[in-house]
Amino acid sequence: MSTDTTAAAKGRPNVPRSAFWGGLLRNAGIGVALVLLIIVFSLTTKTFLTQINLSNIMVQITLNVILAAGMTFVILIGGIDLSVGSVMALAAVIAATFMSNPDLPSWLAITLTILVACGVGTFCGIINGLISAWWSILLHRDAGHAEHGARLRAAVHPIEYGLYLEPRFHELRHGQHCGRSLLFIVALIVVGLGWVVLTRTVFGRMLYAIGNNEEAVRLAGHNTLVYKTAAFGICGFAVGIAAVMYMARLTSASPIMGNGYELNAIAAVIIGGTSLNGGRGSMIGTLLGAAVIGVLGNGLILIGASDFVRQIITGAVIILAVILDAVQNRIAQRRGAR
């Protein structure tokens, strides 16, 4: 049994100093990049640092932060899930049927909406995890087509759902606490809980161990299927929360509302320093990665960049992050060979 695996089994996470400082330096590098972007856009446009624009950025990155937090668990074990957009649409559409029911009391409709959205997301995540772990299948967007069976209810124009959403529910969009959007505060809470799970629990350390060497973990006597399925389940739960935030923000639900969200979430995780090969990454880095994408997109809009240019620049940043990840993996392999 390896040292890391033994420590995790005893409940004492054993993090090498080199890994700790390496993660700290990666997060610091992402933070510096974020600060540089803020400085550049604040100098090139007069409206970037206004309170209204900063609030808009926080609201705009909320969904991506939550989805990326869940995706971090999956990528840490060396997996990936491109069906989160479809699952989010499914969870939102099914949950909206309860919110749009005029016969239900307000408190019950809101409660059922939240529980159903999170329940549907978690269920789909567990199913995806079982499929991925058992058959070692890479889940891609086609896996989400089954979730689009919710179209039978969402065939009505999406605005109809907005007309029936409870006012107290979609007021969450404009609610604030200490000058910060409640939506963004929810996203920070999700990131905080994810950080605690990954850094302060045996389960979190086992996910890192599986990402580094799944075979060693299996030979140590641990059931990797359970951990991998749980990681996908947590990702699905985060998708359910994101679905609730989407409905609160836009007061509507649509079967096509999640298109493209999975790619943004993966981009935030990669830019945040999480390795595509698994075993390395952090929740703080994911938060910073989502912030970089949000600030970059907002700033390019303010300076008048076209949608085509924004896609090119954002894609270039993602490619650079992937290249840096590959370089870091090669360096780590060479050090291990020595």
The three-state DSSP-derived secondary structure of 238-291 is HHHHHHHHHHHHHCCCCCCCCCCHHHHHHHHHHHCCCCCCCCCCCHHHHHHHHH
Q: What is the pLDDT along the chain (338 residues), one digit of tens a residue?
A: 444 444 444 444 444 454 554 555 567 778 888 999 999 999 999 899 998 999 899 999 999 999 999 999 999 999 988 889 989 999 988 888 887 777 778 778 888 889 999 999 999 999 999 988 777 655 444 444 444 444 444 444 344 444 345 565 655 555 555 556 788 999 999 999 999 999 999 999 999 999 999 999 999 989 999 999 999 999 999 999 999 998 888 777 777 787 888 889 999 999 998 988 888 889 999 999 999 999 999 999 999 888 888 888 888 888 888 787 777 777 766 766 56
Among candidates 26, 28, 57, which has minimal Cα distance to 41? 57
Task: Give alpha helix (H) positions in the chain.
Answer: 3-9, 17-44, 51-60, 62-76, 84-99, 106-135, 151-154, 159-164, 167-170, 182-200, 202-219, 224-250, 261-271, 283-302, 307-337
Distance of alpha carbon 257 from alpha carbon 93, whole angstroms: 10
Could you tell me how many residues make up the chain? 338
CA separation for the pair 75, 289 (Å, rounded): 14
Q: What are phi and psi of 249, to 5 degrees?
A: -80, -45
Count CB atoms within 10 A of the CB of residue 53: 16
Cβ(224)–Cβ(217) below 8 Å: yes
Single out the residue of 19, 35, 22, 85 nearest to residue 266, CA to CA.
Answer: 85
Are 321 and 270 in contact by the 8 Å Cβ rule? The answer is yes
Provide the pLDDT for residue 178. 53
* CATH code, residues 3-332: 1.10.3470
Please report the pLDDT score of residue 177 as a whole number. 54
What is the reported pLDDT for 53? Answer: 93
Interstrand relation of 180-181 and 176-177 (parallel, antiparallel or unpaired): antiparallel
Other C-beta atoms closer than 10 Å to the C-beta of 167 total 8
Residue 152: what pLDDT? 41
Calculate ∠ Cα 144-69-302, nearest 5°.
90
